[in-house]
Amino acid sequence: MVIDQLDGRVPIQECTLVVTLEPCSHFGKTAPCADYIIEKGIRHVIIAAADPNPRVKGMGIAKLKAAGIKVELGYAEQQARKLNAEFYRLHESKRPYITLKWAESADGFMAAHSVSGTPVKTAISGNEANAFVHTLRARHEALLIGKQTLLIDNPELTVRHVVGKNPVRVIWCTNAVVDSTLHVFNSKASTVFIKNGYGTSDATHWYLQNNLPKALDVVQLLYTCNIQSVLIEGGAKVLQQFIAEGLANRIVKIVNPELFLKKGVKAPPMQITEKPYKLGKDLIYDIKY
């Protein structure tokens, strides 16, 4: 903490502490900042903006005032909110940041069909685009797919082509999958099944408490489970649901302009007016809302 870096000769009780965000009042990744300020004997605190996190929301300020500290709120608030824009968006919308991502052929398919007409695992994008996707994975706290993608592709859902932390792997389903040979059951990252219907949630099964949930229910559940960003990697049904409900903050569509599948799993139809950029042989449409 910055207070600990002060020269020991500084009379801390005579100092004014100026902070961009309300000091927290709860135990999170660290102990409560408000308690530390009180313990250090600081008598005057200027706070740019209150904390919208329901676990703080004015309670940090109340704690400081109750300890007799002079508190001033609202100094340079707009600038402070700009600095922490993502943090405010998260708590005020009560939704994690949502990125939808998929790859499609030049003729608009996400996966080919086998001769018997069932979807099969299909490589669409090239190495450069794959590395970009792994960068996206590393920047999100969770990575969500639908159950069909799990069963058909048996994806690993980890960060491998770049250096980065593995997100939590989340599968949306009605009934969880128990085939322990699937890659999502390896120990490289944790895996959670978000399930339609009612039940008692535990570390690996989170119930939506709804038989016909919407994507918004999934998003709200992720927020209450402290997930701040999620990358939705498909398949088509899951992506469509998020698109239909207008939940995307960002859409990344990768198109292989040389691949024509003729039939298969249709990619979500999207009217995109933005121009793509080229990455290897692929075209990347990267749209932020």
Ligand X SMILES: NC(=O)c1ccc[n+]([C@@H]2O[C@H](COP(=O)([O-])OP(=O)(O)OC[C@H]3O[C@@H](n4cnc5c(N)ncnc54)[C@H](OP(=O)(O)O)[C@@H]3O)[C@@H](O)[C@H]2O)c1
| Footprint on this chain of ligand X (rule: CB under 6 A) | 102-103, 110-111, 119, 121, 124, 145-149, 152-153, 172-175, 196, 213, 233-238, 241, 265
Nearer CB in complex with ligand X: 43/266: 266
For every residue of 98-150, DSSP letters joined together read EEEEEEEETTSEEEEB-TTS-B-----S-HHHHHHHHHHHHTSSEEEEEHHHH
Judge contact between 222 and 215, C-beta under 8 A.
no
Shortest spacing between CB 73 and ligand X, in angstroms: 42
32 and 6 in contact (C-beta within 8 Å)?
Answer: no
- Is the CB of 18 or the CB of 123 nearer to ligand X? 123
Q: Whose Cβ is closer to ligand X: residue 13's or residue 135's? A: 135
Residue nearer to ligand X on the CB measure, 83 or 176: 176
| Strand 109-112, strand 282-288: pairing | unpaired
Q: Both tokens of residue 117?
A: 């007409």
Say if residue 8 is exposed, middle or buried (CB neighbours under 10 Å; 0-12, 13-18, 19+). exposed
Using alpha carbons, select from 119, 77, 126, 80 the residue that is nearest to residue 256.
Answer: 126
CB of 272 to ligand X, least distance (A): 16
**Count of Cβ atoms closer than 10 Å to residue 30 Cβ:** 9
Q: Decide whether 167 or 235 has the Cβ nearer to ligand X.
A: 235
